[in-house]
Chains A and B, each alone.
Chain A
């Protein structure tokens, strides 16, 4: 009887040891922490990141470079640097993630720079668009865009259209001021004049007065940047309702006609001109593959700058896993990332080895109707553009 009991205890101990050992054997998984807003007014960014990242892994047959990939999602709500720092610290120390991805807001990305620098964790920025971020740590690499990158070609195009007088109207916060400065410096260099620079408070709901000021300024075009969602919709509505297009003031923007908001404008958006790096309607087989994979993963997901940023971000992580054979080696992974050049859904892209920012084509687009839906139709490509904000 006693013997039996001991045998039982042995068996129990052995099985317990086995079950403890099992997760360690499983720990060969490559862990990727995705930081983004998954709740609150910006939750759609989080769901687009998630859909695109998982769609990418699914499109590669469920494994990246032969390794299982485990995603850990963390919700920042909105722009919240303190919370983001805590979440990332937990991911690094407790979950021991190998890579980080995501980041919608500039302050959130800035906040984690010391952490990823110290832990040598390669971090791919899927969205946050202020130039200075990648300077804060050598482990940052960015697959989205910066305002300088899309604004400089926009200013050059406006000058080529023989526009002499342009007014800028931007929301009064970081990226808006980046857009204003970039447009002003490039347009003046090309011989044009920025007749008025309007900064609109971030809490603005009634854009009528600003639009009247734009109209009264006598400019031929307005270059604008607003955060997506309500402000964006409000400004475009005011632009249409106050008859600016009829008065001969051309609309020139960047992310304003983003595919996520576009259908909500209705026919009022027809003819709006923007300069940007990605259109959901980009005509290439890579893009069709991306859109199909995204729809398969999540029928509600939209192909826009956020989802393509995450998709290409996962490509970069894929190649880093390949270079390091699934082991955590930040320096080796970053060396591989710096040398990347590939065909993205947005066109040919590469990582600039110096700034670790994506070099990509920037396009002039116009909103047109394709069937029932509104699309951004690419009219011409300005060719490969780097981040002019970092090269100054």
Chain B
């Protein structure tokens, strides 16, 4: 009984970390249909900004996080406006090649600027302790991640389905020609969406740094996990990504409690089965 509760709690916490890291990709790859393999690199940029601001510049954590997220959004918006916009109409393979190349450039740049060692984000006292749940303790930082994950999921789902901007975005992706003749500012919508995706990646990089430590190879190391979450969840569905992340998180955690000698086998078997059952993902838009 205790083990079951432990699995559920740890699984939820791990799944939320996966979700927070993957939700940005769910926007750029899922909603904008842009094969964005540089997602991990944006997450890394966000994490590095937060680490450097809190550690080197001595900013407060609560100030450094929004600043780092904003910086990542700016970088994403800038890259979109200058380079990436030319790739929307290209083939997927070209998008893959370009964004992988971009990841390598960002890996080499962080390595050259900050060095190869792991970067830690110092947590404020409020988050560095652990919370007593009665029968066990949970790191306080995980509660923040769970809260932030729920908030991001709700906000993003609401923006996409209920606001004018969400309608514009969907219209711009599905029928860009019609949308633009109806007077929808396509370029602004695309640029803002990509920047939002980058910002979410940055947030994921910061909040997930406890489990996925920041180092130059971060950009590629966790990309597979993130792609799995988005594809199992269903392209473009933020609720789907949330569901997939929590489900896969619980499966991975259960295998660590019960059958750790099998490694990540169950995680990937679950992925294969889920994709065989629903090739377009759990919830496809």
**CB <8 Å contact, B10 and A206:** yes
A282 to B163, CA, bound (A): 64
**CB <8 Å contact, A212 and B122:** no
Q: Which residues of A contact B252 (CB under 8 A)?
A: 206
A210 and B256 contact, Cβ closer than 8 Å, known pairs A205-B211, A230-B118, A264-B120 = yes
Number of A-B contacts (CB under 8 A): 87
| Contacting residues of chain A (145-200) with chain B, CB-CB under 8 angstroms | 172, 198-200
Q: How far is the CB of A117 from chain B (nearest CB, A)?
A: 33
Stretch at the interface among B42-50, B65-73, B257-265: B257-265
Would you give the 0/1 interface string for B145-182, flagging 1 where the beta carbon is closer than 8 Å to chain A?
Answer: 00000000000000000000000000000000000000
- Residue A295 at the B interface, CB < 8 A? no
Q: How far is the CB of B124 from chain A (nearest CB, A)?
A: 13
| A interface: dominant SS | helix
Q: Which residues of A contact B13 (CB under 8 A)?
A: 208
**CB <8 Å contact, B137 and A201:** no
Q: How far is the CB of B129 from chain A (nearest CB, A)?
A: 8
- Residue B263 contacts which of A201, A212, A266 (CB distance < 8 angstroms)? A201
Interface residues on B, range: 35 or more
**CB <8 Å contact, A43 and B116:** yes
**CB <8 Å contact, B130 and A243:** yes
- Residue B261 contacts which of A172, A205, A208, A266 (CB distance < 8 angstroms)? A172
**CB <8 Å contact, A209 and B116:** no
- Residue A229 at the B interface, CB < 8 A? yes
A172 and B6 contact, Cβ closer than 8 Å, known pairs A206-B211, A212-B257 = no
- Residue A203 at the B interface, CB < 8 A? yes
- Residue B139 contacts which of A172, A200, A241, A261 (CB distance < 8 angstroms)? A241
| Contacting residues of chain A (228-253) with chain B, CB-CB under 8 angstroms | 229-230, 233-234, 237-238, 241-243
Residue of B nearest to A266 (CB): B122
Q: Which residues of B contact A266 (CB under 8 A)?
A: 120, 122
- Residue B94 at the A interface, CB < 8 A? no
**CB <8 Å contact, A210 and B260:** yes
- Residue A61 at the B interface, CB < 8 A? no
A339 to B4, CA, bound (A): 59
- Residue A288 at the B interface, CB < 8 A? no
Query: Among the interface residues B118, B139, B261, which one has the most CB atoms of the partner chain A within 10 A?
Result: B118
A268 to B116, CA, bound (A): 23
Interface residues of A (CB under 8 A from B): 40-44, 172, 198-201, 203-206, 208-210, 212-213, 216, 229-230, 233-234, 237-238, 241-243, 260-261, 264, 266, 268
Known: A243-B137, A268-B128. 6 other contacts (CB 8 A): A44-B115, A229-B118, A229-B215, A261-B118, A264-B120, A266-B122
